[in-house]
Amino acid sequence: MTEAELAALAAQALRGLGVDRIQAEDTARILVLGDLFGHHTHGVSRLESYGERLELGGIKASADIRVERVAPGMLKVDGDNGLGAAVGMRALRAAMEAARESGIAIAFARTSNHFGACGPYCWLAAQEGFASLVGSNATPTIAPTGGRDTRVGNNPLAIGVPRPGSDPVILDMAMSVVARAKLRDALKRGESIPDTWATDREGRVTSDPKAAIDGFLLPFGGYKGYGLAIMVDLFAGVLSGASYLTRVNSWIDEPALEQRIGHFFVVIDTARLGSAEWLSGRVADFAAIVHETPAADASQPVRLPGEREISEMKRQQRDGIEVDGTLVKKLQAWAAKGRREA
Amino acid sequence: MTEAELAALAAQALRGLGVDRIQAEDTARILVLGDLFGHHTHGVSRLESYGERLELGGIKASADIRVERVAPGMLKVDGDNGLGAAVGMRALRAAMEAARESGIAIAFARTSNHFGACGPYCWLAAQEGFASLVGSNATPTIAPTGGRDTRVGNNPLAIGVPRPGSDPVILDMAMSVVARAKLRDALKRGESIPDTWATDREGRVTSDPKAAIDGFLLPFGGYKGYGLAIMVDLFAGVLSGASYLTRVNSWIDEPALEQRIGHFFVVIDTARLGSAEWLSGRVADFAAIVHETPAADASQPVRLPGEREISEMKRQQRDGIEVDGTLVKKLQAWAAKGRREA
């Protein structure tokens, strides 16, 4: 399927579920970017759970997303329990508009839901010359360092820097060794997992994906990964006015409940720092220094954050995006429902 | 020694080396905070190398630090090769002033030097109600993931969120498993190091601190730690207009050369988001959820980032700060030089 076809299908499916045009298109944009980056767990496959929650009323199809500018460079966004990516896109656009005046702006979003991956927002910001930091909190799945209970989410954080006329550098990561979706994938395929990924309910390391799903993910880098998860929650949950830590509802266990998660978007107008040529030249020099590092394995050249994702994007834009047949049928059924009712 | 005595001695030593009063006091403030947090490798002991570099002309004693406001919420600071902490304090103050108007502000500093630890800046910002992100680049000591050469610095990053009327939450970390200073400490004490800390020059893991100092530090969490080091350098080095990666000079190998490193300071005025009571109540609730996590080891309760440092600060504010006698003599000699010349 081409990028445009997949985006159209995803948006039509959401329209069929009662979502307005802009929110449907914004959500489709973020999810298709997730697929393009090769993060299919954060691509249109997410519409299965979004669709279920829209049908159950756990996510509001006709959300009235509101943006309040509380300072020249600061926005508070109330998502009204709408689709997370629709809330996220609205917040990102508002932040970029404010940053064109202030040089930097931050949007805090609350009363939101799962908003896809963070990297796509940094990608879109970079297309318009903005460096960015984007984060979200999430259902708790990680135990604090030294603790025996899941209290903090596997809160994702992405950081992007544009390279005018070429590809930006984007680091997109969650705080666990692997994403929770990989446990679900292993379970689906009936495979075991490395015992460095997660523990069971009692805090014992496990290679059983089912036990790991019932237990908790291990943070990367020990207390540093745990510490980052905490700071992202303080920004995305506490400062935003959203829920945080164990006060966030699980979209898996309780799909009909509001999650009330939050996000933050910091965008920085690099045009205020120097010309596009200046920045482009500096990032190119920076990239060259990294790329020229002698590789430990000659077949694996040293890469910058995001390079794998961007090359995956180019490949799929050329060859098409492979989408699971069952998912396509489900999306088509939702889309048809919209046309019947229209 | 009390906090005030140590700060006065550090400032007098810098005055003796020709530094003006404000820059000397700012530098002393940051270094003493490093000691108070228990990070003695980033405390007044740093004055040994700062002093050597001031005497050699590698750092300029009479730096003309300039702040340019390029947008309502954005500042560019030229450190004129002055003391890093003097540049940092100037940038932090300018950012806080701008953020009081814009809600958020960022200061990019260039032509600077080692500026102490990042945590003290977040601490000072939190005292005035600002959440913050502070980072710096550094002499390259880390190999990119998959690479066999040091190309990126062990770039520190700190993130802080204030809790009005009580202690802020501050995560302060570098990107290696341990700080480079720990290798120098082990060497000084003639001890071996765990083989997870660093590799030798050829990229082989080592437990010899001397070989490790000649080799490179391992990033925490593999490519995630490496990726964060890269992003901090893109902000602190590339966007700021400073040097970056291997273009940064080593203060150890070439103390008489300008380092030309850079820093960034993002500060966010939390007063625009809600009252002090609102924020204080939310952070208290957040902290309670974390603290109530059942501990794996009952004698080691679960902690928030920065709690160890802040309790260390309170202990030393009560009991005094222990300072190495040789260092005190050196500082007194520099201070006396200032008085003789005055």
Residues 12-41 of A with CB under 8 A from B: none
Best of B278, B279, B302 to mutate (most A CBs within 10 Å, chain A): B302
Give the residue-averaged pLDDT of B212-224. 87
Say whether A71 and B269 touch across the interface (CB within 8 A).
yes
Rounded to the nearest 5 degrees, what angle is found at the Cα of A119, between the Cα atoms of A265 and A87? 45
Tokens 């970079």, residue located: A126
pLDDT at B147 over 70: yes
Closest Cα of chain A to B245: distance in Å?
7
Distance separating alpha carbons of residues A161 and A305, to the nearest angstrom: 11
Closest CB to B289 among A245, A296, A301: A245
pLDDT at B342 over 70: no
- Average pLDDT across chain A, whole number: 94
Residues 237-276 of A with CB under 8 A from B: 237-239, 241, 244-247, 266, 268-270, 272-274
Q: Count CB atoms within 10 A of the CB of residue B190.
A: 7
Give the residue-averaged pLDDT of A66-89. 98
Closest Cα of chain A to B145: distance in Å?
7
Tokens 């997303």, residue located: A65
Say whether B70 and A283 touch across the interface (CB within 8 A).
no
For A111-137, give the DSSP string. Answer: EE-----SHHHHHHHHHTTEEEEEEE-
Residues 298-337 of B with CB under 8 A from A: 300-305
Closest CB to A106 among B104, B223, B225: B104
Say whether B296 and A230 touch across the interface (CB within 8 A).
no
Tokens for B177, please give them. 């498993």
Tokens 């829920």, residue located: A243
Best of A175, A302, A307, A309 to mutate (most B CBs within 10 Å, chain B): A302
pLDDT at B65: 98
Q: How many CA atoms lie within 13 A of A14 on its CB side?
A: 33
pLDDT at A250: 82
At B179, the pLDDT band (50, 70, 90 cuts) reads confident
Helices A119-127/A84-102 angle, 10° precision? 40
At B36, the pLDDT band (50, 70, 90 cuts) reads very high
The separation between CA A68 and the C-alpha centre of its own chain, rounded to angstroms, equals 23
Residue A171 to residues A118, A158, B137: CA-CA distances in angstroms?
Answer: 9, 5, 17
Helices (H), chain A: 3-16, 21-36, 47-56, 84-102, 119-127, 180-189, 209-214, 223-233, 276-291, 307-319, 325-341
Q: Is the dihedral of CA A50, A53, A58, A59 positive or negative?
A: positive
The separation between CA B163 and the C-alpha centre of its own chain, rounded to angstroms, equals 21
pLDDT at B177: 86
pLDDT at A256: 87
CA nearest to A299 within chain B: B146
**ipTM, 2 decimals?**
0.95
Q: Does A54 touch chain B (CB under 8 A)?
A: no
- DSSP single-letter state for residue B319: H
pLDDT at B338: 74
Distance separating alpha carbons of residues A19 and A23, to the nearest angstrom: 7
At A230, the pLDDT band (50, 70, 90 cuts) reads very high
pLDDT at A59 over 90: yes
Q: Count CB atoms within 10 A of the CB of residue B165.
A: 11
pLDDT at B203: 73
Distance separating alpha carbons of residues B25 and B44, to the nearest angstrom: 12
pLDDT at B291: 97
Q: Does B233 touch chain A (CB under 8 A)?
A: yes
Q: Is B4 exposed, middle or buried (0-12, 13-18, 19+ CB in 10 A)?
A: exposed
Q: Which of A116, A278, A18 shows the shortest CA–CA distance to B238?
A: A278
Percent of chain A with pLDDT over 90: 81
Q: Does A76 touch chain B (CB under 8 A)?
A: yes
Per CB-CB distance under 8 Å, the chain B contacts of A270 are: 239
- b/e sequence B30-50, b meaning 16+ C-beta within 10 Å: bbbbbbbbbbbbbbbbbbebb
Percent of chain B with pLDDT over 90: 81
Closest Cα of chain A to B130: distance in Å?
11
Q: Count CB atoms within 10 A of the CB of residue A326.
A: 9
Best of A223, A273, A292, A309 to mutate (most B CBs within 10 Å, chain B): A273
- Give whichever of A139-143, A190-194, B11-15 has the largest mean pLDDT: B11-15
- b/e sequence B283-303, b meaning 16+ C-beta within 10 Å: beebbebbbebebeeeeeebb
β-strand A198-199 against B198-199: which pairing, if any? unpaired
**pLDDT of B53-97, one tens digit each?**
999 999 999 999 999 999 999 999 999 999 999 999 999 999 999
At A254, the pLDDT band (50, 70, 90 cuts) reads confident
Closest CB to B73 among A70, A102, A131: A102
Give the residue-averaged pLDDT of B2-21. 98
Q: Which of B103, B130, B169 shows the shortest CA–CA distance to B276?
A: B130
At B204, the pLDDT band (50, 70, 90 cuts) reads confident
Tokens 């896809």, residue located: A116
β-strand A130-136 against B216-217: which pairing, if any? unpaired
**Residue B294: which residues within 8 A CB-CB, separation 6 or more?**
A147, A148, A149
Q: Count CB atoms within 10 A of the CB of residue A200.
A: 16
For A228-240, give the DSSP string. Answer: HHHHHHIIIIIIT
CA nearest to A143 within chain B: B293
Q: Does A157 touch chain B (CB under 8 A)?
A: no
Distance separating alpha carbons of residues A237 and A240, to the nearest angstrom: 5
pLDDT at A342 over 80: no
- DSSP single-letter state for residue B176: B
Say whether A295 and B222 touch across the interface (CB within 8 A).
no
**pLDDT of A262-305, one tens digit each?**
999 999 999 999 999 999 999 999 999 999 999 888 889 999 99
For A241-261, give the DSSP string. Answer: TS--GGGSPPTTT-TTS---E
At residue B194, φ and ψ (nearest 5 deg) are -60, 145
Residues 79-98 of A with CB under 8 A from B: none
The separation between CA B298 and the C-alpha centre of its own chain, rounded to angstroms, equals 32
Cβ atoms of A34 and A116 closer than 8 Å: yes
Tokens for A176, please give them. 């666990």
pLDDT at B11 over 90: yes
pLDDT at A147 over 70: yes
Tokens for B341, please give them. 């010349």
pLDDT at A149 over 70: yes
Tokens 């995001």, residue located: A306
CA nearest to A300 within chain B: B146
Q: How many CA atoms lie within 13 A of B285 on its CB side?
A: 17
Per CB-CB distance under 8 Å, the chain B contacts of A154 are: none
Best of A74, A142, A232, A266 to mutate (most B CBs within 10 Å, chain B): A74
Distance separating alpha carbons of residues B37 and B24, to the nearest angstrom: 20
- DSSP single-letter state for residue A205: B
Q: Is the dihedral of CA B262, B334, B48, B1 positive or negative?
A: negative
pLDDT at A341: 66
Say whether B148 and A293 touch across the interface (CB within 8 A).
yes
- b/e sequence A259-287, b meaning 16+ C-beta within 10 Å: bbbbbbbbbbbbbbbbeeeebbebbeebb
pLDDT at A138 over 80: yes
Distance separating alpha carbons of residues B120 and B125, to the nearest angstrom: 9
Per CB-CB distance under 8 Å, the chain A contacts of B279 are: 238-239
pLDDT at A305: 98
Residue B241 to residues A77, A102, A160, A279, B112: CA-CA distances in angstroms?
Answer: 33, 20, 17, 9, 11
pLDDT at A340: 72
Residues 189-208 of A with CB under 8 A from B: 203
Tokens for A89, please give them. 């896109």
Of A253 and A109, the one with more pLDDT: A109
**pTM of structure:** 0.95
Give the residue-averaged pLDDT of B120-127. 98
Rg of chain A's alpha carbons, rounded to an integer? 20
Say whether A274 and B241 touch across the interface (CB within 8 A).
yes
The separation between CA B331 and the C-alpha centre of its own chain, rounded to angstroms, equals 21
pLDDT at A252: 79
Give the residue-averaged pLDDT of B109-138. 98
